[in-house]
Amino acid sequence: MRLKFSPRLISAVIVALIVAFVVQSNWGSASVSGRTIATFLVVGIALGGVYAISAAGLVVTYATTGIFNFAQAAIGCFLAFCYWQLTVQWGLPTLVAIAITLLIIAPAIGIALDRVIMRRLRDAALVVQLMVTVGLMLTFMGITLTIWPPKAPRSVPHFFEGTKGVQIGDVIATWHRIITVAIALLVAVALRFLLYRTRLGISMRAVVDSRSLAGLTGAKSSVISGASWSLGCMTAGLAGILIAPETGLVVENLALVIVVAAAAAAIAQLKSLPMVFVGGLIIGLTEAFTSVFLNFGTDWNYAPQAIPCVILFVALLFLPQARLETGKVRLTKRTERLTKPWEAAVGGGVMIVLVGAWANGWIPWFSGTTFGERSAVWLGRGVGFMIVGLIMLSLVPLIGWAGQVSFANFAIAGVGAVLFSHFGGQNGSPIGILFVMLVCAPLGLLIALPALRLKGLYLALATLAFAEFTDKVIVRHPKMIDPSATGVLFKPLDIFGIHISSDAADRKAFVIFLVIAFALLFFMLELLRRSRWARRWIAMSDSPAASATIGINLTTTKMAVFMLSGAMAGFAGCMLGLSQGALRVDSFPMFIGLPLVLLLAVQGVRYPVAAFMGLIGLASFPALSEVMGNPSWLTQVSLIGPGLAAVAMAYRPEGAVFYTGRDLAGMLPWRADAREEKALLDQRTRDQDIGRDDINDLGLTRAFTREKVAQLDRRLSISDAVDEHPMVTSTGVAK
């Protein structure tokens, strides 16, 4: 057999070399003895077991519904708190509490999610599916924080706490850990049995492949998706209850197990349950190995926390290339016309006038408040909101047009801020900004590289992993951000004699500078949308297969949009650094990337103006709060708000900007075309108002009435004028 230098083999060698190097250069003082090895194995396997359960839940929901549930761990967290309430607070016996949590509360959540939200997401765009579950994740975290405010530390007792456990060599494996591993194995076997050996499980998997075919075999898709989500929530709860004693009952810790679970799930290619277990073990053992044998020193102190992300990234390298699928095109019924350049110019002008007027105090509203009086604090916030807006703007071509869902742009901005503090920022040089943009452009590309050949979901996961890696490894190195440095790292930027900096006196100029930059970029994007570049990106996103067959090179086309987006994020990063003055190592948590994309997606990810609406929406919360005298309910609304937004997205996937834009355009006297189109579209939607479930169940559990047949015909654009339909003749159903 000929030795083939496949990309996989090369990746494997490179990864092995890097691992060897990292292990070699960070070897700690621990000696390799029976004791250390036993510790490593006991801790590693127990961790692996928990990760495996969490990941198994992810894989089960993905395999049976086609939706990757970012809220998985957050739901688990909520359920772990329920369990704590039942046992520790109300003193119920452990088994009763587990039964109530996993058999009553979890399925209830699952069924509710399925009914209210998930069913509407089946045929939604990837970004909508992802954003809805991200929104749910934030909501479950918010609800948990609201019900159980993090005032006092809480802890969940281990199972059989106080007993000694089993001695393996010199190390004691607690009963809790043994039970955890046993349950993990049991869950893997049970789920595998359920999915491959039972009628319900087989139907569950069949529904994902083809809902209509599964329907023909008598599977009721409505029951099945409810069962899938219940099952997902139950495994989430189980993982939460088992992890909570180890991590402590802390919302953030529990909810972010999602990253680890995603890594284990990626190793399993999101489908194989036995491999989920292997994936969990790989991560658990790596973490244990690192903590026992390696010592990263102070420079790379946080590196061990990034292990799951690195493993996720590596796993992506070994996934098989996605095939160019056909027949998956979603034809959304929406009308839209291109924004004309003069309209975009007017829009940009309005933005400048609006924000500029506020910054200068020309708007007389709320003059009694610090918001209305635009105190230094508020101007500082204004700067912050504008920068968030800039980052959102950088996502429009990437996510909205090219359909590449990335959570990494905030991290890229973070890297940009750090770079600017080293190059150009400390002497107020605008050339530095250009330099940072030039570095950030390929950085955006670098993240995407391993995922370019994979399907969109993996790209989203890769960007998440990158964001975590940046946060935990890159920016925390003292060479990047020196934690001992005090004072302002940046000299004010001098633009035509006007100073821009974090200094209170310069903030007004900063806000105005940012809104002008924003408006210019907005205008640029609108022009770009009319260019061949944007057309190609949208084409690629709408149908990759068709794009390839008209000669579009998908890889280079994707690379171009990543570079554009990276450069824009780099610019935002420079502004971010400049506005903060001093950089702290914890300024760029990976987590921020998620709500940022959600904020844009709710407004409408295709439209540059959505970034502006998003930042206004973001600013309106503290502004409203202050104007209304800081009511406490508003804080709670802001905690649960993302979830409401998520629900809204399930119902209005195009985003608020699109729907309000269409309605507003219809009100303009000279836009008769908008009114006509809307009427036409509404008519067509009414004609075709036959649900997917309806179609699946027709003839099986629902009668083939004349009316349904007519609706079906219209939906399929069958326009024959034959009165007697062959399927419903008077003599009965034809052959």
Partner 1 sequence: MTALLSTNEVVVRFGVLQAVSQASIEVHAGRVTGLIGPNGAGKTTCFNVITGLQEPTSGKVLLEGVDITGKSPSKRARLGIARTFQKLEVFGSLSARENIMVAAEQRRAWDKSGFDPKKVTDEILEKVGIADVSEFMVGTLPTGTARLVELARALATNPRLLLLDEASSGLTEEETEEMAALLRRLVADDGLGILLVEHDMSFVMGICEFIYVLDFGRVIASGTPAEVQANPTVQAAYLGTESVEEAS
Residue with Cβ nearer partner 1 (535 or 584): 535
Residue with Cβ nearer partner 1 (61 or 711): 711
For 462, residues 6+ apart whose C-beta sits below 8 A from its C-beta are 312, 313, 316, 447, 448, 450, 451
Residue entry with tokens 């088994």: 95
Residue with Cβ nearer partner 1 (106 or 344): 344
CA distance 330 to 295: 51
CA distance 623 to 633: 15
Q: How far is CA 107 from CA 227, 230, 479, in A?
A: 8, 4, 49
For the bound state, the minimum distance from the C-beta of residue 323 to partner 1, rounded and expressed in Å, comes to: 8
Judge whether 38 and 304 are in contact, CB under 8 Å: no
Dihedral over alpha carbons 134, 140, 146, 152 (to 10 degrees): -100
Judge whether 685 and 157 are in contact, CB under 8 Å: no
Judge whether 473 and 302 are in contact, CB under 8 Å: yes
Number of helical H runs and strand E runs in the chain? 30, 4
For 340, residues 6+ apart whose C-beta sits below 8 A from its C-beta are none
- Binding track, positions 324-353, relative to partner 1; x by CB under 8 A: x-xx-xxxxxxxxxx---------------
Judged by CB under 8 A, the chain residues 593 through 652 that form the site for partner 1 are 606
For the bound state, the minimum distance from the C-beta of residue 717 to partner 1, rounded and expressed in Å, comes to: 4
For the bound state, the minimum distance from the C-beta of residue 402 to partner 1, rounded and expressed in Å, comes to: 12
Residue with Cβ nearer partner 1 (548 or 640): 548
The count of chain residues that interact with partner 1, using the rule CB under 8 A, is 38
- Binding track, positions 687-716, relative to partner 1; x by CB under 8 A: -----------------------------x
CA distance 180 to 260: 17
Judged by CB under 8 A, the chain residues 511 through 550 that form the site for partner 1 are 532, 535-536, 538-539, 541-543, 545-550
**HSE of 400, CA atoms in CB hemisphere, 13 A:** 29
Coil, strand or helix at 429: coil
Q: How long, in residues, is the chain? A: 735
For the bound state, the minimum distance from the C-beta of residue 551 to partner 1, rounded and expressed in Å, comes to: 3
CA distance 573 to 705: 60
For the bound state, the minimum distance from the C-beta of residue 536 to partner 1, rounded and expressed in Å, comes to: 6
Judge whether 221 and 215 are in contact, CB under 8 Å: yes
Which candidate, 568, 516, 600, 571, places its Cα nearest to that of 348? Answer: 516
For 501, residues 6+ apart whose C-beta sits below 8 A from its C-beta are 488, 490, 491, 492, 493, 510, 578, 581
Judged by CB under 8 A, the chain residues 648 through 687 that form the site for partner 1 are 681, 684
Residue with Cβ nearer partner 1 (198 or 683): 683
Residue with Cβ nearer partner 1 (685 or 705): 685
For the bound state, the minimum distance from the C-beta of residue 168 to partner 1, rounded and expressed in Å, comes to: 44
Residue with Cβ nearer partner 1 (164 or 532): 532
Residue with Cβ nearer partner 1 (654 or 693): 654
For the bound state, the minimum distance from the C-beta of residue 79 to partner 1, rounded and expressed in Å, comes to: 39
Residue with Cβ nearer partner 1 (236 or 402): 402
Judged by CB under 8 A, the chain residues 549 through 568 that form the site for partner 1 are 549-554
Judged by CB under 8 A, the chain residues 374 through 393 that form the site for partner 1 are none
Residue with Cβ nearer partner 1 (518 or 658): 658
For the bound state, the minimum distance from the C-beta of residue 127 to partner 1, rounded and expressed in Å, comes to: 13
- Which DSSP symbol is given to 499? E
For the bound state, the minimum distance from the C-beta of residue 70 to partner 1, rounded and expressed in Å, comes to: 25
For the bound state, the minimum distance from the C-beta of residue 327 to partner 1, rounded and expressed in Å, comes to: 4
Q: Which of 486, 719, 730, 731 binds partner 1 (CB under 8 A)?
A: 719
Positions in the binding site for partner 1 (CB under 8 A): 323-324, 326-327, 329-338, 532, 535-536, 538-539, 541-543, 545-554, 606, 681, 684, 716-717, 719
